[in-house]
Amino acid sequence: MIKVTLDHGSTATLEQGATVAQAFQALGIACGRQVVAARINGELVDLSRVLSADCTIAPIRLDSPEGLEIMRHSAAHLMAEAVRDLFPGVKVAIGPAIESGFYYDFGVPEPFTPEDLAKIETHMAELMAQDLPFRRDDMGREQAINYFRGEGEAYKVELLEGIPQEKVSLYQQGSFIDLCRGPHIPSTGYIQAFKLTATSGAYWRGDERRPMLQRIYGTAFPTRKELARHLELLEEAKRRDHRRLGRELELFSIEEEAGPGMVIYHPKGALLRSLIENFERREHLKRGYQMVMGPQMLKADLWKRSGHWDNYRDHMYFTEVEGQMYGIKPMNCLAHMLIYKSKVRSYRDLPLRLFELGTVLRHERSGVLHGLTRVRQFTQDDAHILCMPEQVESEILGVLKFVAEVMAIFGFDYEVELSTRPEKSIGTDAEWDLATNALTGALQTWGLPYDICAGEGAFYGPKIDIKLKDALKRRWQCATIQCDFTLPERFDLAYIGPDGERHRPVMLHRVILGSLERFMGVLIEHFAGAFPVWLAPVQAILLPITDRVHAYAQEVARLLWDADLRVEVDTRQETLRYKIREAQVQKIPYMVIMGDREAADRTLAPRLRDGTELKGVPLEAFIQRLKEESRTPSPANSA
């Protein structure tokens, strides 16, 4: 007999060999279709797992994040079975759950069409209705290799050959067998609401030198109502796509002849970026940061010394000058350390906060490039804080406060993650423990809830990642705080302490908005291109009705320009209705209509972006109104 304890304390005694599902039944937990898996002593397992010893178990419900991920991963297997049935000879690669659903990669001769997706969906529904059980089979790795080699599944064989464990697990539902660690839902009938959403090409293992596979994306939810809501958000996301709005609003372009991942800013986009940069400079100077600027490339020896050569070289570009190898910077930290080393530092100089709007280049694979949110050249609002160990927590708290204030100004909510040491890293265990404890302590002092992302830290230190949430509740990587004891050691950074001895400083790497390109892409979609007045590249457009008021329009424009307001004048020989429609497409906050009456009375007739019309507004009153709305919001009154 074995003793099974529920996570909140209830216990039951069962015969050895009982399943998790039977244990829940004995504990009075009604599973139905709402419990999809379990945790045994912290390990995620299927409900069919056999119990062999005393243990503590907890149910995983379908409406929990873990339950949803398990169901979506099972939906990926269901989709793969449907594809195998409909397209004989297809080769299957990998099919994970992702944040918004799932995908599976296939080796097929031709790309999938929209008609193919419809057929696959129909067959998935048929398989779902059969309520096929998911069955796990543990076998030796070599046995599994022989099985998949016999099936002609070369991608599965390659995956297995890279697995060090001698035992692996396979899952089967219906006629489909897949290499998978699980767990899975009990049967396909648990998948009630799903939709295939898109297809794309994807290189095997993300390597452009490997075969191009065809990826099918899908999503699944516990209920049809939740699925319908998600599909509505997807349609809204298409309408807000920053790549489309970037063209329509004449903000930026990415031209194939210039190179993928290289952004070309048009006048309005360059102005929007300048507004953000100027905001950044003001906010950093207010908080005691000093402006610096480093070169675009540095000798390769420095990158070897920092560890980038061994740990980040595949993401870097290199060039040779007079027989000397240089690395084009993917990060700004090296020049900042050289600034620190340029003279002897005292403990009285610390903390030293160095800030740079630093442009970097990274070798991103072409398959992952996406508009502004994933590019090869971008600018970071990068800063490095060098401080004494006893100052670390207060400096991290200062950055967290900075992030909170900036997110409030732009109107973003956010979530926090703590990422710990990755497998490929530098530094000692003691240094990593110190850095991780410093970040954890600051988060706990600030009172922020956070998730732990094991093994996802930078190669030189753990980090706090801020994921902002946009108007559609999507999460985007934004601010980062990285605690680094290693690079100061490698570059022999020091300060003279109160005792007159040399001591090693700690370095915090941090960004607030992160990549300006990515932030602009998120900002465009968050506001659907309708920026608040203080950010709008064009705040008002003057629309004279007749040639007789052109002189008045130019006078008003000069007054607005003198007040540092951003205004255009449309004197084209077009109808007023046409001009208003164009201004609405450009999402300009104010369309100012000017006729003979307005010119005579020195008034204006502003039309707001939402369609509200104002009549007879005195010129000075309008200028004052626009100046008020052009001020950068403060955290206290922003929303």
Structure confidence at residue 426 (pLDDT):
79
For residue 134, give the DSSP letter.
P
User: In a 3-state reduction of DSSP, which class is residue 420?
Assistant: coil
275 and 149 in a common domain: no
Active site annotation includes 384: yes
Assess if residue 299 is contained within a domain. Answer: no
pLDDT in tens, 417-430: 999 898 888 788 88
Confidence of residue 75 (pLDDT cuts 50, 70, 90): very high
Dist. CA 88–CA 109, nearest whole Å: 11
Asked which of 44, 61, 78 is the last residue of a domain, the reply is 61
* 346 pLDDT more than 80: yes
Residue among 553, 545, 509, 535 nearest 629 (CA): 535
Dist. CA 51–CA 57, nearest whole Å: 10
Residue among 206, 194, 214 nearest 79 (CA): 194
159 and 75 in a common domain: yes
Region 29-55: mean pLDDT is: 90
70 and 56 in a common domain: no
Cβ atoms of 22 and 14 within 8 Å: the answer is: yes
Catalytic choice (84, 463, 579, 607): 463
* Residues paired with 168 in a beta bridge: 139
Dist. CA 592–CA 570, nearest whole Å: 10
Dist. CA 405–CA 202, nearest whole Å: 39
Dist. CA 410–CA 148, nearest whole Å: 52
Phi/psi class of residue 470: alpha, beta or left (left: φ > 0; alpha: ψ in -120 to 50)?
beta
Could you tell me the two tokens for 193? Answer: 């609401």
88 and 27 in a common domain: no
435 and 412 in a common domain: yes
* 222 pLDDT more than 80: yes
Could you tell me the two tokens for 77? Answer: 């297997």
Structure confidence at residue 455 (pLDDT):
87
81 and 37 in a common domain: no
Question: How high does pLDDT run on average in the chain?
Answer: 92
Assess if residue 300 is contained within a domain. Answer: no
Confidence of residue 151 (pLDDT cuts 50, 70, 90): very high
Assess if residue 174 is contained within a domain. Answer: yes
H helix runs in 346-428, sequence order: 392-410
Residue among 327, 329, 334 nearest 306 (CA): 334
Query: Dihedral (C-alpha) 277, 278, 281, 282: value to the nearest 10 degrees?
Result: -150
Active site annotation includes 55: no
Across 186-190, 284-288, 478-482, least confident range? 478-482
User: In a 3-state reduction of DSSP, which class is residue 453?
Assistant: strand
Assess if residue 577 is contained within a domain. Answer: yes
At 581, give phi and psi (nearest 5°): -60, -40
* 159 pLDDT more than 70: yes
Assess if residue 337 is contained within a domain. Answer: yes
pLDDT in tens, 204-213: 987 778 899 9
Could you tell me the two tokens for 509? Answer: 């790497």
Catalytic choice (39, 195, 284, 384): 384
* Token pair 């208003």 in the structure block, residue: 580
418 and 399 in a common domain: yes
Active site annotation includes 31: no
H, E, C per residue of 183-205: CCCCEHHHCCEEEEEEEEEEEHH
Dist. CA 631–CA 639, nearest whole Å: 14
Structure confidence at residue 618 (pLDDT):
95
Angle between helix axes 516-526 and 224-240 (nearest 10 degrees) is 120
* 154 pLDDT more than 80: yes
370 and 258 in a common domain: yes
Dist. CA 592–CA 560, nearest whole Å: 12
Confidence of residue 637 (pLDDT cuts 50, 70, 90): very low
Q: How many structural domains does the chain have?
A: 4
Active site annotation includes 73: no
Catalytic choice (380, 391, 482, 539): 380
Structure confidence at residue 458 (pLDDT):
82
Instruction: Note the residue count of the chain.
Output: 639
Confidence of residue 434 (pLDDT cuts 50, 70, 90): confident
Cis preceding linkage at 183, omega within 30: yes
We report the CATH number of the domain holding residue 614 as 3.40.50.800
Active site annotation includes 387: no
Assess if residue 321 is contained within a domain. Answer: no
Confidence of residue 639 (pLDDT cuts 50, 70, 90): very low
262 and 181 in a common domain: no
Catalytic choice (333, 387, 478, 483): 333
Active site annotation includes 382: yes
Assess if residue 424 is contained within a domain. Answer: yes
346 and 201 in a common domain: no
Half-sphere exposure of 274 (CA within 13 A, CB side): 10
Residues 296, 300, 302, CA angle at the centre, nearest 5°? Answer: 85
Dist. CA 42–CA 454, nearest whole Å: 15
574 and 446 in a common domain: no
Could you tell me the two tokens for 442? Answer: 């600051």
Could you tell me the two tokens for 634? Answer: 């403060």
Burial class, 403, CB count within 10 angstroms (exposed 0-12 / middle 13-18 / buried 19+):
buried
Residue among 62, 416, 381, 374 nearest 206 (CA): 374
Assess if residue 75 is contained within a domain. Answer: yes
Cβ atoms of 195 and 121 within 8 Å: the answer is: yes
Query: pTM of the predicted model, to two decimals?
Result: 0.83
**Could you tell me the residue range of the domain that residue 13 belongs to?**
2-61
Asked which of 496, 526, 556 is the last residue of a domain, the reply is 526
Structure confidence at residue 635 (pLDDT):
67
pLDDT in tens, 445-473: 888 888 888 888 888 788 999 999 998 88
We report the CATH number of the domain holding residue 369 as 3.30.930.10
Confidence of residue 638 (pLDDT cuts 50, 70, 90): very low
pLDDT in tens, 100-115: 899 999 999 999 999 9
* Residues paired with 481 in a beta bridge: 464, 510
413 alpha carbon, distance to own chain's centre = 14
Active site annotation includes 247: no
Q: What's the Cα-to-Cα distance from 457 to each of 335, 418, 423, rounded to whole Å? A: 22, 8, 9
Catalytic choice (49, 336, 353, 362): 362
Q: What's the Cα-to-Cα distance from 159 to each of 153, 209, 338, rounded to whole Å? A: 10, 17, 43
Cβ atoms of 385 and 352 within 8 Å: the answer is: yes
We report the CATH number of the domain holding residue 15 as 3.10.20.30
What is the widest separation between alpha-carbon atoms in the chain?
A: 98
* 636 pLDDT more than 60: no
Asked which of 493, 526, 559 is the last residue of a domain, the reply is 526
489 and 347 in a common domain: yes
pLDDT in tens, 294-320: 999 999 999 999 989 988 898 999 999
What one-character-per-residue DSSP string does 301-358 give? HHHHHHTHHHHTGGG-EEEEETTEEEEE-S-SHHHHHHHHTTS--BGGG-SEEEEEEE
Catalytic choice (345, 421, 509, 587): 509
